[in-house]
Amino acid sequence: MSDRDTIIVDTAARIFRDLCDPQTLNNAKDDSWKGPLWDALEESGLTLTWVSDEVGGAGAGMFDGFDVLRVAGSYAVPVPLSETLLAGWLLEKAGITCPAGPMTIAPQRAKDRIEIDANGRLSGAAKQVPYAGETTHIAIVAYKGDRPHVALVAAADCRIESGRNIALDPQGTVDFAGVQPLRCEPAPISADDLQMMGAAARATMIAGALETAMNISVQYAQERKAFGRNIGGFQAVQHNLSRLACEAAAATAASGSANEAIANGDGLAGDAMLLEIASAKIRCGEAAGQGAAIAHQAHGAIGFTQEHVLHRFTQRLWAWRDEFGSEAVWAVRLGNAMAGNGADALWPLLASR
Amino acid sequence: MTASVLQFDPIRLPPECDVLRGEVRAFIEEEIAAGTFDPMDKSEGDRFNRPFAKRVAAKGWIGMTWPKKYGGQERSFLERYVMTEEFRAVSAPTGSFFTADRQSGPTIMKYGQEEVKNEILPAIIAGDCTFCIGMSEPGSGSDLFGATTRATKTDGGYLINGTKIWTSGAHQADYMIGLFRTAPPTKENRREGLTQFVVNMKTPGITINPVINMVGRHEFNEVVFEDAFVADKYVMGTPGQAWKQATSELAYERSGPERFLETFYILTELVRVLGAEPDLRGSEGVGRLVAQLHTLRRMSVSVNGMLAEGLEPTLQGSIVKNLGTLWEQALPARARDLAAFVDPDPTNMASFQRVLEFATTIAPKLTIQGGTTEILNGIIARGLGLR
Ligand SMILES: Cc1cc2nc3c(=O)[nH]c(=O)nc-3n(C[C@H](O)[C@H](O)[C@H](O)COP(=O)(O)OP(=O)(O)OC[C@H]3O[C@@H](n4cnc5c(N)ncnc54)[C@H](O)[C@@H]3O)c2cc1C
């Protein structure tokens, strides 16, 4: 860890503290906070953490990008930062220079497939694309026959049906039919690689959000009084919060391990990467569900209000565990892989990590 | 405040660990081939096997992290981690040396008198010396500081009177590290007045009565002390201050792979009976179990990495034990459920059922031994600032 760049994390934390304070955003009557927040992120270079400096990015490395996402999760950041990071990562794989402004990526669901025809036009649609309609550009993985390409698309060229996810953050269906990409290049990447990276990103954000959910729950338990004492003095409350801490710890370890595997690994293929990334998404998704429930229980009614910030974290925990594959989806995939390898291959794989 | 609760750095095992792992696996294979033990045969009791210990010792794997001057190898905690997990994963018969290697030896190293270190540590390293832990008493289990067994000062040492219970392996052990009262608790601090001793189990005045556990085995015991004499040199650390010494021991005791691998064979056998193409619930179930186990293991490796750096990750160790023991306790029930639609007749299934029965029966103890779930939750809550 010591060789990691704390300046990047510190910068991210400072920007979020100043411009993305959960209570301030919660009280805001409109979206006027959004512009200054995005501008600060862009000016600091954080939005292009995963793009090398040769092509205009921050050149900071995979680990730093994940660290930024963890901090973003800990503030429940409601702008397309992870999406822009992922888009930058994708575009760089194809040697495409990143445009300015927020981007998103597609497909988010494993099921959706985008094709490129002989004239270079796209077909297919992607559902539940995060922040669709809020970004000027979309980076996509599309196929010309079997050959994967990365394309940069202007959002204005697509038909977008906007909606909201469970956290009320924007998401939408993007219909790419007939769209001519701004750029389109073959790339050594697959739609599954985007699933993997997206899953690792969401797992990391979940770990960050759980840390905050834990902290505010503990703080609340130390302040709120009932029966003449702090509720944190009741053993039942203490044990619930201990379990929340254990879940947050598991999420931290699982996502941290996947982050390290990606940062120091050689591509996303193979059983070891599947174990790392699937485990992170599964375990963080489970921790999200259990952790959110405990955090709410500890808060009583106040946590169930619009006014309190807790929902900013718990609703995003629920949203993020769904995106880029739920626990169940990854578990079936991981379980099938383990079954296919056979019982006696299980321990050697676990021990190799 | 709460940040350290989440300190689980994603460290990886260094290359020397791969070399060692290869050696340990080759050794295990030879031992299984020679008939020393059968990983699938759960009737072998507590896996206490001194000749096996001697062969492990000959490899230099007992007390491998300890100083060379006592016969140790000064290898890293992470290497010890690898050795431990490889033995656990196959349920190797480590019963005669595991306790000494994990906690008794390190405790003696830290608090024992030099003469005692020279007497005992080389014997542990040679695989000749078995330890048991004398903490619990009939009237004090979780409430360790309620211990009443007395050590009364006499000429040249102490006379011990009282009863310890649940002492695993006392009937096979050469020594106990016991926690005895040398002074009454003070008003301000009820933890005061307890002292740790090394006790030779052959000492006159010690009676060991078996307690048969619910699997029908003689593993733990009641140990009765009647004027058993222990010489001064066997006092560990500062008399009356044992409560301050116990904490670092707990980080070793709680964070190891034995806290989630005791019934690992259930997962392996589950994958075997489900076959190459399990049904949807089978694959989802296995996927979740594997993800959870991988996470536990990565947490445990990070704690051991912190130990290797000389830190005292007591809190993180408690988190690993808490999650780990709850996980392995639930494992047999989940495996049973996931295998519910597998054809019950093939031989694979029969051996799965056999180990499943065993694991189901021992599952209750996993969240009691070494500190109960409730006690661990209390420790973690204290780490959160709630107590
Ligand atoms: C297989 C096995 C091997 C063992 N080996 C050894 C050994 O070698 N040496 C040794 O010294 N001991 C050993 N023990 C004993 C073990 O350490 C104790 O059983 C354990 O500490 C719990 O103590 P107890 O059994 O007296 O239960 P109690 O302390 O009486 O607890 C009973 C229940 O009450 C709960 N409880 C107690 N206090 C609190 C509290 N403050 N708040 C909330 N809940 C509470 C407990 O969590 C538990 O659920 C072994 C136990 C087992 C099962």
Please report, for the domain that includes residue B92, its CATH number. Answer: 1.10.540.10
Q: Are residues A47 and A118 in the same domain?
A: yes
Sorting pLDDT into bands at 50, 70 and 90, what band is A60? confident
> Which residue's CA is the nearest one to ligand 1's atom 26?
B141
- For the cut 80, the answer to whether the pLDDT of residue B252 exceeds it is no
Q: Quick one: A277 and A232 in the same domain?
A: yes
Residues B289, B206: one domain?
Answer: no
Distance from CA of B281 to the nearest CA of A (A): 8
User: Is there a contact between B124 and B109 (Cβ–Cβ < 8 Å)?
Assistant: no
CA distance B48 to B96: 5
> Residue B137 gets which letter from DSSP?
B
In this prediction, what percent of chain A has a pLDDT beyond 90?
Answer: 95
Query: What's the whole-number average pLDDT of chain A?
Result: 96
Q: What is the mean pLDDT of residues B275-293?
A: 97
Task: Dig out the tokens for B80 from the structure.
Answer: 């010890």
Task: Clarify whether residues B212 and B330 are in a common domain.
Answer: no
The CATH number assigned to the domain holding A178 equals 2.40.110.10
Q: Please tell me whether residues A97 and A246 are part of one structural domain.
A: no
Question: Which atom of ligand 1 lies closest to the CA of B133?
Answer: 9
pLDDT tens-digit series, residues A187-211 = 999 999 999 999 999 999 999 999 9
Q: Are the CB atoms for A135 and A83 separated by under 8 Å? A: yes
Domain carrying residue A314: 191-351
Tell me if B82 sits within 8 A of B24, measured CB to CB.
yes
Measured over all CA atoms, what is the biggest interatomic distance in chain B, rounded to whole angstroms? 72
Q: At what angle do helices A6-19 and A34-43 cross, to 10 degrees?
A: 160
Claim to verify: residue A59 and residue A181 sit in the same structural domain: yes
Measured between CB atoms, does B311 come within 8 Å of chain A?
Answer: no
Mean pLDDT of B101-105: 94
Q: How much is the pLDDT for A4?
A: 63
d(CA A338, CA B286): 8
Q: Cα separation of A170 and A162, whole Å? A: 7
B247-270 average pLDDT score: 86
Mean pLDDT of A317-335: 98
A71 reaches B (C-beta below 8 A):
no
The verdict on A317 and A229 lying in the same domain is yes
Residue B267 and residue B272: Cα distance in Å, rounded? 9
Query: According to the model, what pLDDT value does residue B45 have?
Result: 61
- CB-based contact B291 A211, cutoff 8 Å: no
Residue-level pLDDT at B245: 82
Closest CA to B197 of B228, B165, B155, B166: B228
Domain finish residue from A137, A165, A186: A186
Dist. CA B365 → ligand 1 center (Å): 9
Q: Residue A81 corresponds to which amino acid?
A: L
Kindly report the CATH number assigned to the domain that includes residue A301.
1.20.140.10
pLDDT of residue A48: 93
Quote the strand ranges of A155-282, DSSP E. 159-164, 170-175, 183-186, 225-226, 229-230
Residue B21 has pLDDT above 50, yes or no: yes
| Among chain A residues, CA nearest to B295 | A254
Which residues from A are below 8 Å from B383, CB to CB? 245
**CA–CA dist A70, A67 (Å, integer):** 5
Contacts of B5 in chain A (CB under 8 A): 214, 245, 248-249
pLDDT at residue B44, rounded to an integer: 67
Do A49 and A118 belong together in one domain?
A: yes
Half-sphere exposure of B195 (CA within 13 A, CB side): 27
Inter-chain residue contact B291 with A282, CB threshold 8 Å? yes
Residues facing B161 on adjacent strands:
B150
Rounded to whole angstroms, the Cα distance separating B15 from A139 reads 39
Percentage of chain B lying above the pLDDT 90 cut: 87
C-alpha A191/C-alpha A139 separation (Å) is: 12
Which sign, positive or negative, has the C-alpha torsion A333, A334, A335, A338?
positive
Sign of the dihedral through C-alpha A90, A95, A98, A99? negative
Strand A137-144 relative to strand A147-154: parallel, antiparallel, unpaired? antiparallel
Rounded CA-CA distance B321/A9 in Å is 31
For chain B, say whether A311 makes contact (Cβ under 8 Å).
no
Q: Which B residues, 140 through 199, put their C-beta within 8 Å of a C-beta on chain A?
A: none
Within this chain, do residues B99 and B79 fall inside the same structural domain, yes or no? yes
A245 touches chain B (CB under 8 A): yes
Q: How many domains are contained in chain B?
A: 3
Pocket of ligand 1 (CB under 6 A): B 132-136, 141-142, 166-168, 220, 365, 368-369, 372, 374-375
Domain count, chain A: 2
Q: Pull the structure tokens for residue B283.
A: 């694959």
Distance between CA atoms of A320 and A325, rounded to whole angstroms?
9
Give the residue numbers spanning the domain of B97.
2-130
- Yes or no, beta carbons of A278 and B291 under 8 Å apart: yes
CA B45–ligand 1 middle distance (angstroms):
22
Domain boundary among A156, A186, A216: A186
- Structure confidence at residue B302 (pLDDT): 95
Closest CA to A353 of B81, B114, B338, B264: B81
Nearest to B132 by CA among B61, B68, B73, B46: B46
State the Cα–Cα distance between residues A181 and A106, nearest whole angstrom.
Answer: 13
- How many angstroms separate the first and last alpha carbons of chain B? 13
The residue nearest atom 2 of ligand 1, judged by CA position, is B369
Among chain A residues, CA nearest to B261: A347
Q: Could you tell me if B258 and B355 lie in one domain?
A: yes
Q: Both A220 and A291 in a single domain?
A: yes
Selection from A82, A180, A81, A69 nearest residue A122 by Cα: A180
Are residues B123 and B251 located together in one domain of the fold? no
Shortest-distance Cα residue to atom 18 of ligand 1: B141
3-state secondary structure of A217: helix
**Preceding amide of A107 cis, omega within 30:** yes
Last residue in a domain, options B130, B161, B189: B130
- B219 and B280 share one domain: no
Nearest atom (ligand 1) to Cα of B136: 11
How many Å apart are CA B274 and CA B283, to the nearest integer? 8
Q: Confirm or reject contact between B8 and chain A (CB < 8 A).
A: yes
Same domain, A169 and A312: no
Which of B254, B253, B214, B259 minimizes the C-alpha distance to B360? B214
Residues B221 and B277 grouped into a single domain: no
Rounded to whole angstroms, the Cα distance separating B65 from B81 reads: 10
Q: Is the model's pLDDT at B244 over the cut of 90?
A: no
Select from B242, B367, B249 the least CA-distant residue to B314. B249
The CATH number covering residue B144 comes to 2.40.110.10
The separation between CA A336 and the C-alpha centre of its own chain, rounded to angstroms, equals 25
pLDDT tier, B2 (very low <50, low <70, confident <90, very high otherwise):
very low
Angle value at C-alpha B365, between B164 and A275, nearest 5 degrees: 135
Q: Are strands A137-144 and B218-231 parallel, antiparallel or unpaired?
A: unpaired
Determine the Cα–Cα distance for residues A84 and A61; give it in Å rounded to an integer: 15
Asked if residue B288 and residue B277 are part of one domain, the reply reads: yes
Pocket of ligand 1, candidates B135, B137, B142: which has the most ligand atoms within 8 Å of its Cβ, to mutate?
B142
User: Measured between alpha carbons, how far is residue A251 from residues A200, A286, B291 in Å?
Assistant: 11, 9, 11
**Residues A214, A329 within the same domain:** yes
Report whether the peptide linkage leading into residue A148 is cis, meaning its omega lies within 30 degrees of zero: no
CA pseudo-torsion sign A317, A72, A168, B2: positive
A249 and A330, same domain (yes or no): yes
End-of-domain residue from the set A186, A211, A238: A186
Q: Given a cut of 50, is residue B82 above it in pLDDT?
A: yes
Q: Which chain B residue's Cα is nearest to A210?
A: B6
Angle at A201 between CA A200 and CA A206, to 5 degrees: 95
> Is the CB of residue A145 less than 8 Å away from at least one CB of chain B?
no
- Both B261 and B276 in one domain: the answer is yes
Nearest-angstrom CA–CA distance, A219 and B300: 28
Look at residue A141 and give its three-state secondary structure.
strand
Query: Does A116 share its domain with A265?
Result: no
Task: Give the pLDDT confidence score for residue B46 in this predicted structure.
Answer: 62
- Last residue of some domain: B130, B153, B168? B130
Looking at the structure, tell me whether residues B265 and B210 fall in a common domain: no
pLDDT in tens, B129-187: 999 999 999 999 999 999 999 999 999 999 999 999 999 999 999 999 999 999 999 88
- Rounded distance, CA B146 to CA B144, Å? 5
Q: Grade residue B259 by pLDDT with cuts at 50, 70 and 90.
A: very high
pLDDT band of residue B4 (cuts 50, 70, 90) is confident
Cβ A339–B274 below 8 Å, yes or no? yes
Long-range contacts of range A226-232, CB-CB < 8 Å, 24 or more positions apart? A231/A298, A232/B386
Kindly state whether residues A145 and A225 are assigned to the same domain: no
Give the C-alpha separation, B3 to B142, whole Å: 27
Nearest Cα of chain A lies from the Cα of B51 at a distance, in angstroms, of 27
Tell me the pLDDT tens digit for each residue of A271-313.
999 999 999 999 999 999 999 999 999 999 999 999 999 999 9
* Mutational test site, ligand 1, from B104, B107, B132, B372, max ligand atoms within 8 Å of CB: B372
Query: Whose CA is closest to B269, among B354, B143, B188, B363?
Result: B354
What is the domain-level CATH number for residue B379? 1.20.140.10
Q: Residue B157 class from Cβ within 10 Å (0-12 exposed, 13-18 middle, 19+ buried)?
A: middle
List all residues of chain A from 215 to 234 with a beta carbon under 8 Å from chain B: 215, 218, 221-222, 232-233
Question: How many Å apart are CA B360 and CA B363, to the nearest integer?
Answer: 5
Do B261 and B376 belong to one domain? yes
pLDDT tens sequence across B288-328: 999 999 999 999 999 999 988 888 888 999 999 999 999 99
Contact A344 B302 (CB under 8 A): no
Q: How far apart are CA A205 and CA A70, in angstroms?
A: 5
Choose the closest CB to A330 out of B89, B274, B287.
B287
DSSP label at residue A77? -
Rg (CA), chain B: 21
Please report the pLDDT score of residue A5 as a whole number. 67
- Taking a C-beta distance cutoff of 8 angstroms, is the pair B99, B132 a contact? yes
Tell me the β-bridge partners of A139: A105, A152
Q: Give which of A45, A43, A21 is closest to A33, Cα–Cα.
A: A21
| B115, B130, B145 - which closes a domain | B130
Is B269 in the same domain as B353? yes
Chain B residues near residue A346 by CB distance under 8 angstroms: 267-268, 271, 290
What is the rounded average pLDDT of the residues B242-255? 76
Give pLDDT, residue A55: 76
